[in-house]
Amino acid sequence: MHLGFIGTGTITAAILRGLKSSPHAGWPVTLSPRSAGLAARLAAELPHVTVAPDNQSVIDSAETVILAVRPQVAQTVLTGLHIRPDQTVISLIAATPAHHIAAWTSASRICRAIPLPFSQDRRDVVPVFPPLPEAMALFSALGRALAVDDQATFDLYAATSALMASYFGILETAAAWAVANGMQPADARTYLAGLFANLGHAALQSPLDLATLRVEHATRGGLNEQVFADFAAHGGTQALTAALDTILARIRG
């Protein structure tokens, strides 16, 4: 499958590096000249990757077109481009409905997906709506492709994907507290990164629901129980829920 990318940024780079270490390493890829420096580096680094002179040339060369531009500039970049009816479009553009893509480009076969930087290591979990075969094949090679059958559920995946910075913010806050109390910065980072990585592994592997896992990881009357109780009592869970509500409204707005 010949892939064409409109937009060459962090996510495009992660997808390509993952793809080129997968069984689909031989798929040809054409990149847009947008972010020319990164596009040139990827073409030099990876096999079967070339850079087109312009965005329409990317489309003309590809069977499947992947849109990876920021939503703030999507209309400007895409308006006037022509995508053929036989081409599949995979839009990675956040909070941008498929009907907008269709209006700007004449595309008729469109799905949306939410890949994250973990695609590079082929450990990503990527929601795809609707689950067109071309998108499912691509993202299955980068970890796991999740078939999503309705827009409302896809929006929930999009909202919860916005938790990445908050995850690192919790690590940052805890590490800063440890350092302020005498721990070496490198030791704080190593310990907390390992702790959270192992908790994530436990969540992936365990058949228990998340509430049960929380209880199982908190001795009654112990330290873990106390920290979560304080977190909830001081509005932590309410703040997180409110933030997700706000993000969902923005996505659907």
Residue 132 has pLDDT above 90, yes or no: yes
pLDDT in tens, 232-249: 999 999 999 999 999 999
Residue 226 has pLDDT above 90, yes or no: yes
Owner of token pair 């302020």: 180
Residue 125 has pLDDT above 90, yes or no: yes
Residue 130 has pLDDT above 90, yes or no: yes
Region 41-52 average pLDDT? 98
Residue 30 has pLDDT above 90, yes or no: yes
pLDDT of 202:
96
Region 122-139 average pLDDT? 98
Residue 253 has pLDDT above 90, yes or no: no
pLDDT of 34:
82
pLDDT of 209:
98
List of domains in the chain: 3-149 (3.40.50.720), 162-252 (1.10.3730.10)
